[in-house]
Structure 1
Amino acid sequence: MKFTNLLLVSVLLLALSCKTPTDVYKIEGKNVNITDSIQADARIETFIKPYREHINKDLDSILGYSVDTYSKSDGHLNTAIGNLMADVVYQEADPVFFKRTGAHIDFVLLNHGGIRSIISKGAITKRTAFEVMPFENSIVVSKLPGAQVQELLDYLARAKRAHPISKLKILLDRESNVIESAVDGVAIDFNKTYYIATNDYLINGGDGMDFFKSSEEVIVLDYKIRNALVDYFMKTDTLNPVADDRFIQLKD
């Protein structure tokens, strides 16, 4: 009898659970603006104060010195700060890539818009790296066929913008046609494939760089550009980057 009652209760519960609900619920929300008028909670402030002080002390520890102020608007086809960014990615990422694959990075291509701040003359700190690269962009390496390397060059020639490059040299004529291109001093062979270090935004076609979508392989290094900057700053006493002839256009 007890078993029968238990079975009956179970059947009733199952039936009720399968019944289509008929109640209608209305959910409302509203925006709460966060402004200076909101009073801080003293208990929370007391709790987080030592953590904030520790983080600020770490971020503001002086790592080196910049001899000048550098901005991404300082040049036409290449800039000192852009050259620094690309060279740092090559220098810091190539040993990681080689250890993992046994191959070397051929050249680097980043995006002009990824540089989010100037580097000011004076002390260089970890905070400098966070200001220049506040995003979580990571370094990836594309194995790109020669045909898409040609598309890459054509893209840069059309853009006429100082997208940071390293180990790559481009010369345009007066009509903005590519008349010379080389990787580490050797003319590009469009029948080969090249390993190109870039970021995880561009590898998916960001900034219209659709040629990266044809990558034969993408190697993720698990290495943020910001961390590469910090690693470089920690072993470099003085920053003195320059604009050079890695990407130029003939005037006459």
Structure 2
Amino acid sequence: MNKDVQADPTVVSIYEPFKQKMEAEMSRVIGHADKALTKEKTPETLMGNFFCEALLWMSAHYAHNTADLAFATKGGIRNDLKAGDITVGHIFEVMPFENTLTIIELKGSQIRQLADYIATTHGQPIAGMTLTITGNKVQDIKIKGLPIDDNKLYKLVTYDYLANGGDNLVLLTQSVSRTNYPQRMREGLIAYVSELTKAGKQVNADLDGRIKIN
């Protein structure tokens, strides 16, 4: 098939209303960013920080119990958000997969293993936790501003792909408990951006030193 093949008017008449409806929804503006949120190959990124803060919000909004920390991977976040209007379509570009919200409980000692993974992969998106890394080794870990306790249980919010061991994260399959939610990541992101807009806020993020590499 090529451009010389003429469209069948009967077939077009069937799908055109659905196509127009989909295009209208994808173009719907849900928020505004005053600066680009990018995901360059650095230990901490604006897009990663935004995404994980959104995950913490989702844990409170959908699970009604804010997680202690959030974790994602750079590869799982598929696109930047440009400065200016943010549409539903832009969120689909950020998270085009069918990944759904997941909250797991891990002991502090398991969080240390996760921190080692973050160190050896030169930084990954996190929220609620700060790391100091020297030579691919974690020197300091704090969760919600406090030193990590190896025997304490912490709630981590992420998405099912990672909780299932994706991206070589087998350690997340060994959680003490796990709760799955039906909300897709893009649905949560759309709700989060819409909530910011409703509150009169811009879509924004800052580099705050949550991952420091010496």
Normalising by structure 1, report the TM-score.
Answer: 0.78
Q: Distance in 2 between matches of 1:201 and 1:39?
A: 42
Is 1:158 the counterpart of 2:120? The answer is yes
Contact 1:93 1:228 in 2 (8 A): no
What SS does the corresponding residue of 1:211 show, helix, strand or coil?
A: helix
What SS does the corresponding residue of 1:182 show, helix, strand or coil?
A: strand
Aligned length: 210
What SS does the corresponding residue of 2:52 show, helix, strand or coil?
A: helix
Is 1:115 the counterpart of 2:81? The answer is no
1:169-221 CA-partner distances (Å, limit 9, x unpaired): 11113x23212111111111011121111111111211111111211211001
> Residue 168 of structure 1 corresponds to which residue in structure 2?
129
What SS does the corresponding residue of 1:63 show, helix, strand or coil?
A: strand
Contact 2:57 2:66 in 1 (8 A): no
Letter in structure 2 aligned against 1:90? L
1:125-161 CA-partner distances (Å, limit 9, x unpaired): 1111101111111110111122211111111111113
Contact 1:170 1:248 in 2 (8 A): yes
Letter in structure 2 aligned against 1:177? K
Taking structure 1 as reference, are residues 207 and 46 closer, same or farther at Cα in structure 2, changes over 3 Å only? same
> Residue 140 of structure 2 corresponds to which residue in structure 1?
180
What SS does the corresponding residue of 2:37 show, helix, strand or coil?
A: coil
Q: Which runs of 4+ in 1 moved over 3 A?
A: 34-39
> Residue 70 of structure 1 corresponds to which residue in structure 2?
37
Normalising by structure 2, report the TM-score.
Answer: 0.91
Task: Report the RMSD for the aligned CA atoms in angstroms.
Answer: 1.7
> Residue 247 of structure 1 corresponds to which residue in structure 2?
211
Contact 1:172 1:180 in 2 (8 A): yes
Q: Distance in 2 between matches of 1:120 and 1:36?
A: 32
> Residue 23 of structure 1 corresponds to which residue in structure 2?
none
> Residue 11 of structure 1 corresponds to which residue in structure 2?
none
Letter in structure 2 aligned against 1:248? K
Identity of aligned residues (%): 27
> Residue 163 of structure 2 corresponds to which residue in structure 1?
203
Taking structure 1 as reference, are residues 97 and 235 closer, same or farther at Cα in structure 2, changes over 3 Å only? closer
Taking structure 1 as reference, are residues 168 and 43 closer, same or farther at Cα in structure 2, changes over 3 Å only? same
Structure 2 gaps, min length 5: none
What SS does the corresponding residue of 1:236 show, helix, strand or coil?
A: helix
Contact 2:114 2:171 in 1 (8 A): yes
Q: Distance in 2 between matches of 1:210 and 1:39?
A: 51
Contact 1:138 1:225 in 2 (8 A): yes
Taking structure 1 as reference, are residues 153 and 47 closer, same or farther at Cα in structure 2, changes over 3 Å only? same
Taking structure 1 as reference, are residues 38 and 169 closer, same or farther at Cα in structure 2, changes over 3 Å only? farther
Contact 2:70 2:158 in 1 (8 A): yes
